[in-house]
DNA sequence: GAGTGGTCTAGACCACGAC
DNA sequence: TCGTGGTCTAGACCACTCA
């Protein structure tokens, strides 16, 4: 009696083999037919696993040829997405630290209510966290939550990982996010909380985050000192016929 | 005798209906069974079409409930990806102009040969283009190509769209790209070519672009004046178990 | 329990690449 | 021509949501 999904087990197995170097980069994966007999599965199930490999930058499928091993993870792990600072920090070799600078409910007249609680029925709380990397305070994260979806937790939870709290303790599933990256001027708050170190601008990531039922539950601003900001992204060219997949956008 | 793929026609039709407002945002799409009888197709084909809608931010699927219409296109079209300036400009209401500042082969000792032509067998050419938006020169694009894959075209082609040349005239397919976004100091060249307008930093997008056969054919640096840079991104939370999908990255 | 999407199967034909 | 991946079908069972 297996709980796990077959195509995920196949995916996991293939990832492990690719990372172990069973096949060289730019070599071919076995064909879909070979894989389906090897894993005792239908071709469609293999294709589900291969789709995952492709989405995550492990292979490139070529019609009539096969699946080529690529290495989108070479330079320094990649891909735009939704990730917590904790997940991120675990992949860094540098020492990191989080300082909870504030944690409180907001006044009802705060602008953020328009976004997170239009009827102002639910309370909204805020947490501000300073991220220290190699003993420099370089990131200021300002998170706003609707109390109805995410009850205000303790400082300890904020110190650890709010996403673990949301996905683990509360059992909610984060589905998607809309993000905007811009460069803004340094604020007084930046100067108070961070080591701005003479910089006059900050890179700001503004995110609207949604649950699986499409309700908006979080708004975040992550303010980065520009010399410590770097975003690595792996992008596939999808159909751009109707709704061009965009990149730098200009106002 | 139809050339077009069935699931793409269904996708196109559903996009048209969503954009026409046939269903309200946060309403449910008809169920997969209803859609398959409506379009005279199997459920798997419908699911292919719905997967595309989901990837492109039109719907959010919820197990046991249905497909909810969402609106990732609300603010200003979205999503990180691979797009040409021409595609981008067509979605802008502002007047834009491209100036080809230079177009030439590079000396064999240029650093870029290490990336694009390791054996230094093939020639590498470069084009520099200044992008003017609302009569301000705010973007400097520096593109490097391997002559073997992409023969150096005329200035007119660069003026128009190199991607149209590659995908249309040469019939090649761009498959994926690896990008890095960082903030760098203004260079003398920036000052010479652009209206830097007192800014001391530039947002720089560095891209390695690959063809379908996974060969690297282009390296690009796109340098943006920070006040005119904005990136909008729509991200889904995928499996982050093995290879965390990252966001801001730090050095 | 009825209806939804998620997984999986076995089979078919097509479009493409390489020989 | 052969093997590859791409599309499509018809049907099955499971997991989930909601009344």
| pLDDT tens-place string over residues B147-161 | 888 889 989 888 877
The region of weakest confidence among A4-8, A35-39, A113-117, A194-198 is: A113-117
Total-model pTM? 0.81
User: A54-58, A239-243, B45-49, B87-91: which has the highest mean pLDDT?
Assistant: B45-49
Do A76 and B244 count as a contact with CB atoms less than 8 A apart? no
Give the three-state DSSP class for B106. Answer: coil
**At A98, which helix (H) or strand (E)?**
strand A96-105
Confidence (pLDDT) at B135: 87
Q: Poorest-confidence range of A69-83, B60-74, B136-150?
A: A69-83
pLDDT classification of A246: cutoffs 50, 70, 90: very low
Interchain CB contact of A89 with B (< 8 Å) = no
pLDDT tens profile A203-215: 888 888 888 888 8
At B200, give phi and psi (nearest 5°). -105, -10
Q: Which of A224-228, B79-83, B123-127, B157-161 has the lowest mean pLDDT?
A: B79-83
Structure tokens given for B115: 């990336």
Tokens linked to B54: 């989901």
Position B82 confidence tier, pLDDT thresholds 50, 70, 90: very low
pLDDT per position as a tens digit, B177-230: 777 788 899 999 999 999 998 899 998 888 888 887 788 888 999 898 888 887
Band of the pLDDT at B40, cuts 50, 70, 90?
very high
pLDDT value at residue A209: 85
B60 touches strand D (CB under 7 A): no
Please report, rounded to whole angstroms, the spatial distance between the CA atom of protein residue A18 and the C1' atom of nucleotide D3. 23
The model's confidence at residue B109, banded by pLDDT at 50, 70 and 90, is confident
For B155, the token pair is 């200035």
Q: How confident is the model at residue A89 (pLDDT cuts 50, 70, 90)?
A: low
Tell me the pLDDT band of B55, cut-offs 50, 70 and 90. confident
> Tell me, what's the pLDDT at B90?
57
How much is the pLDDT for A85? 54
A62 touches chain B (CB under 8 A): yes
Does residue A45 approach strand D to less than 7 Å at its CB? no
How far apart are the C-alpha atoms of A166 and A151, rounded to whole Å?
Answer: 10
DSSP lists the bridge partners of residue A67 as: A61
- Hey, how many other C-beta atoms are within 10 angstroms of the C-beta on B118? 10
> According to the model, what pLDDT value does residue A159 have?
86
Partners of A173 on chain B (C-beta within 8 Å) are 237
CB-based contact (8 Å) between A171 and chain B? no
Residue A57: pLDDT band with limits 50, 70, 90: confident
Question: Using CB atoms within 10 A of its CB, is residue B221 exposed (0-12), middle (13-18) or buried (19+)?
Answer: middle
* Cβ atoms of B238 and A81 closer than 8 Å: yes
DSSP B186: P
B244 with A88: Cβ contact below 8 A: yes
Instruction: Considering any atom of strand C, list protein residues whose CB lies within 7 Å.
Output: A 5-8, 40-45, 48, 62-65; B 3, 29, 31-34, 43-44, 47, 61-67
- Residue B216 pLDDT: 84
Three-state secondary structure call for residue A91: coil
More confident residue, A24 or A43: A43
Q: How many residues does chain B have?
A: 251
What span, in angstroms and rounded, lies between the C-alpha atoms of A24 and A70?
9
Residue A22 token pair: 């069973």
Percent of chain B with pLDDT over 90: 34
Q: At residue A94, does pLDDT exceed 70?
A: no
Asked if B72 has any chain A CB less than 8 Å from its own CB, the reply is yes
In angstroms, the CA B112 to CA B146 distance is 10
Q: In this structure, are residues B204 and A251 in contact, taking their beta carbons and an 8 Å threshold? A: no
Alpha-carbon span B224 to B184, nearest angstrom: 10
Give the pair of three-digit tokens for residue B251. 């050095």
Q: Which range has the worst mean pLDDT, A10-19, A156-165, A232-241, B78-87?
A: B78-87
Q: Which residue is nearest to nucleotide C10 (CA to C1')?
A: A42
| B205: nearest CB among A87, A246, A248 | A248
């Amino acid at each position: 009696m297996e709980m796990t999904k077959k195509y995920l087990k196949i995916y996991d197995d293939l990832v492990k083999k690719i990372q172990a170097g069973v096949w060289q980069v730019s070599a071919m994966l076995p064909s879909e037919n070979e894989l389906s007999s090897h894993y005792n599965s239908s071709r469609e199930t293999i294709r589900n696993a291969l789709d995952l490999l492709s989405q995550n930058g492990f292979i490139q499928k070529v019609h009539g040829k096969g699946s080529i091993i690529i290495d989108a993870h070479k330079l320094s792990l990649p891909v735009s997405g939704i990730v917590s600072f904790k997940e991120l920090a675990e992949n860094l070799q540098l020492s990191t630290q989080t300082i909870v600078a504030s944690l409180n409910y907001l006044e009802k007249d705060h602008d953020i209510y328009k976004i997170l609680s239009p009827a102002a029925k639910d309370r909204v709380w805020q947490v501000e966290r300073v991220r220290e990397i190699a003993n420099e305070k370089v990131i200021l994260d300002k998170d706003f939550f609707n109390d109805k979806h995410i009850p205000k937790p303790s400082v300890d939870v904020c110190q650890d990982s709010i996403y673990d709290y949301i996905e683990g303790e509360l059992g909610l599933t984060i589905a998607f996010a809309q993000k905007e990256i811009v460069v803004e001027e340094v604020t007084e708050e930046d100067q108070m909380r961070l080591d701005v170190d003479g910089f006059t601008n900050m890179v700001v990531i503004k995110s609207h985050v949604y649950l699986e039922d499409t309700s908006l539950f979080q708004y975040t601003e992550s303010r980065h000192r520009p010399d410590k900001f770097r975003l690595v992204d792996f992008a596939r060219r999808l159909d751009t016929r109707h709704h061009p997949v965009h990149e730098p956008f200009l106002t």
